[in-house]
Structure 1
């Protein structure tokens, strides 16, 4: 048994999918399967339930994963201690976020004032961020909806409006606001299933009495805007997507019925020790969104506690 085997196991356990894990690790799928099989042989127990191509951690696997996670956490602590003793300590923050076009510049502003802090940045959908946080591979994340896990704390940042994005010249151009039922027959451009925004907008349409006719699914939110400009369909767009990015080829409309909003939250791991950089960045993000809410006159969080602690 070696660290490489453990890292491979940790990735497969997080993904519960050999093909996806092999792609993430950049190795051949048969090699990864053989490595997991050798690990199970060394341990003398099976770690996964197997049903064809589908795998799922069994109870032995879940218990073993807890110990493997602790091994890598201790190794990271050891590296930091060694660097401190050698005078080469660097504070590293691993963060993940849903797509927010303005956020990289916000982080750049923080880095400019904190040059000793290094970032590892992930951008993805809600399930991937939840798994990264659960596997303790990131320190904090910005998501919608909120990450609900044991040993994770969350702070609500703001609630933003979800609007309709239409191309210039569309039949509804200039209306300002519409009922969602008015676009029931329109073709839609949407994110793929698994994204929090997709789940929310599907629910909005159901509440309006229809299932959206999705003609194009994408993984990159910016591509939705490009496709709307081209006239392929209309789309939902969060209010903050248009922050400091005026677009003369599209128009956003307020949805008067039903109410269409989403709430952004900041979630982080509860640890006995947090680095000074972590706390500075956490407060920086909370204060930034608080200022943004006031500046843009975005409503505050509705029907949610300001800070939620989970242990």
Structure 2
């Protein structure tokens, strides 16, 4: 599935009343980002490169602290839109059509898959088909 990557901003931020933004407009902002998760970080890095700047990242934190800092309205950052919706975060969509993150599930068809792993695979596929229109 493809997910939009959006800019999380505090409710009192100068861009909080916007519906979309060109990432170039936030070049002077201090960002917080997710530690680890190299594939996601590479996607975000490409977005910044496309916008023509390297972000000033002040912290890299784990997922729980990242969400908590966003909930406390303390910083800006880029995360998938479903997390914003789940945690009721204030966000602005990015105008760049490449601001997407692909999430997938894979397995080797010709290899043995345990009953539990197969049930998990079926659950994930059913969940996303029923809840995200994919």
| TM-score > 0.5, shorter chain as reference | yes
Following superposition of structure 1 onto structure 2, how do residues 256-271 of structure 1 map, counting pairs within 5 Å? 256-270=95-109
SS at match of 2:95: strand
| Cα pair distance change 1:193/1:281, threshold 3 Å | closer
Q: CA deviation at 1:260?
A: 0.2
Matches within 5 A, 1:42-191: 158-191=1-34
User: SS state of the match for residue 2, structure 2?
Assistant: strand
1:226 matched to 2:40: no
Q: Does 1:283 align with 2:126?
A: no
SS in 1 for 2:106: strand
- TM-score of the two chains, using structure 2 as the length reference: 0.86
Change (3 A) 1:288 1:193: closer
1:212 matched to 2:55: yes
Residue among 67, 84, 89 paired with 1:242: 84
Cα distance change on mapping 1:258 and 1:207 into 2, 3 Å: farther
The CA distance in 2 between the partners of 1:229 and 1:273, in whole Å, is 43
Q: CA deviation at 1:193?
A: 5.1
> How high is the TM-score relative to the length of structure 1?
0.40
Instruction: Give aligned pairs, total.
Output: 134
Deviation at 1:184, TM superposition (A): 0.6
User: Using a 3 Å threshold, how does the CA distance of structure 1 residues 244 and 229 change in structure 2: closer, same or farther?
Assistant: closer
Determine the C-alpha separation between the residues in 2 that align with 1:199 and 1:187.
18
Structure with the greater alpha carbon radius of gyration: 1
CA RMSD of aligned residues (A): 2.1
Secondary structure of the residue that 2:17 maps to in structure 1?
A: coil
Cα pair distance change 1:213/1:282, threshold 3 Å: same
CA spacing shift, 1:270–1:184, aligned 2, 3 Å: same
Q: Cα gap change, 1:289/1:178 in structure 2, threshold over 3 Å: closer, same or farther?
A: same
User: Partners in 2 of 1:232 and 1:243 — Cα distance?
Assistant: 18
Quickly say closer, same or farther: Cα 1:244–1:272, change in 2 above 3 A: closer
Partner secondary structure for residue 267 of structure 1:
coil
Aligned-pair CA distance for 1:221: 1.8
Please give the alpha-carbon distance, in whole angstroms, between the structure 1 residues aligned to 2:107 and 2:115. Answer: 14
